[in-house]
């Protein structure tokens, strides 16, 4: 029998559109889509890192319902990534083994629940201080459930090509 604990973990990523609100000193709000939010990617990454510091390796995986999915998922961590000139909400998932299509759909449902009623509900209510003296609120849960996509679905890449992008939406250049 194969020991799944000694195999290298499999990493997958789920993507969803982000929206946010930028509040000035007079509390006027400018609504921002992923294109506008991309200029705040480092600010948002810093806030995510501070938010999830105490969660440890399992991160949001600790909140999964008992069952096969919880057995396979080692960690779930919200992140952001610029892809195709927009900032996307990302769930980085570390698994013991590759998930089946049914498990992937279950993971999407769980992530949607965390974005709208769990972790994301609290995150959107926390002001992120910006260098300009403004406050930013980022909503991971604004996307409809059917807008959550795997990396392959979003970027149109096959599993052999996965990991061959730079994270900025451009393919890596290789030597010929």
Question: pLDDT, tens digit, for every residue of 61-100?
Answer: 999 988 999 999 999 999 999 999 999 999 999 999 999 9
Other CB atoms within 10 Å distance of the CB of residue 91: 24
pLDDT at residue 164 above 80? no
Indicate whether 165 pLDDT > 90: no
**In this predicted structure, what is the pLDDT of residue 6?**
60
Highest mean pLDDT among 1-15, 46-60, 126-140: 126-140
Q: Which long-range contacts (CB under 8 A, 24 or more apart) does 102-110 make?
A: 103/68, 103/69, 103/72, 104/12, 104/150, 106/69, 107/14, 107/69, 107/73, 108/14, 108/145, 108/148, 109/145, 110/64, 110/65, 110/69
DSSP secondary structure of 50-105: HHTGGGTTTBGGGGSPSSHHHHHEEEEEEEEEEETTEEEEEEEEEESSPPPHHHHH
pTM over 0.85: no
Instruction: Look over the chain and give the mean of its residue pLDDT values, rounded to a whole number.
Output: 85
More confident residue, 140 or 6: 140
């Amino acid at each position: 029998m194969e020991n799944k604990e000694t195999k290298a973990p499999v990493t997958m990523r789920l993507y969803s559109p982000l929206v946010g609100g930028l509040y000035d000193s007079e509390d006027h709000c400018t609504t921002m889509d992923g294109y506008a939010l991309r200029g705040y990617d480092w600010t948002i990454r810093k806030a995510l890192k501070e938010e999830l510091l105490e969660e440890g390796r399992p991160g949001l995986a600790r909140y999964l319902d008992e069952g096969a999915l919880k057995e396979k998922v080692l960690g779930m961590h919200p992140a952001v990534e610029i892809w195709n000139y927009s900032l996307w909400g990302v769930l980085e998932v570390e698994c013991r083994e590759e998930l089946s299509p049914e498990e992937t759909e279950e993971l999407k449902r769980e992530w949607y629940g965390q974005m709208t009623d769990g972790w994301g509900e609290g995150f959107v209510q926390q002001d992120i201080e910006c260098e300009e003296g403004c406050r930013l609120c980022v909503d991971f849960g604004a996307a409809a459930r059917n807008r959550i996509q795997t990396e392959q679905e979003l970027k149109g890449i096959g599993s052999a090509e996965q990991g061959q992008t730079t994270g900025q939406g451009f393919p890596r250049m290789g030597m010929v």
